[in-house]
Amino acid sequence: MFHNVVIGKPFVEPWELISSSKEEFEKFDKRDTLFTNERFLPAILVEAGIVSSRGEVRRNKPELCKTLNELDCIWVKWGKKKIYIIVGE
């Protein structure tokens, strides 16, 4: 399961938003970070290992059925699991 997701190419280096240093990111946080070009949030949650299917998101949290196209940094919570998402270009 991933704890961070980077979508596309952010304006800032991901390590600047996730870790306190580049070395810390490379050593610890990079393995917990999913790099993807997928923008449909339910598909990202499946790819990150948070949920088992897109249908589960549609049934239980329909407000999360959206496409992330705007540059942003957001937290998404599913039960006790939280995931930090950085949306780039």
Cα 73 to Cα 59: distance, rounded to the nearest angstrom? 25
Output the pTM of the full model: 0.89
pLDDT at res. 55: 95
Provide the residue-wise pLDDT of the chain in tens; the chain has 89 residues.
789 999 999 999 998 999 999 999 999 998 999 999 999 999 999 999 999 999 999 999 999 999 999 999 999 999 999 999 999 99
Query: In Å, what is the CA distance from 40 to each residue of 15, 17, 25?
Result: 23, 22, 26
Cα 45 to Cα 23: distance, rounded to the nearest angstrom? 27
The residue whose two tokens read 């991933």 is 2
pLDDT at res. 1: 75
Length of the chain in residues, anyone?
89
Cα 72 to Cα 89: distance, rounded to the nearest angstrom? 10
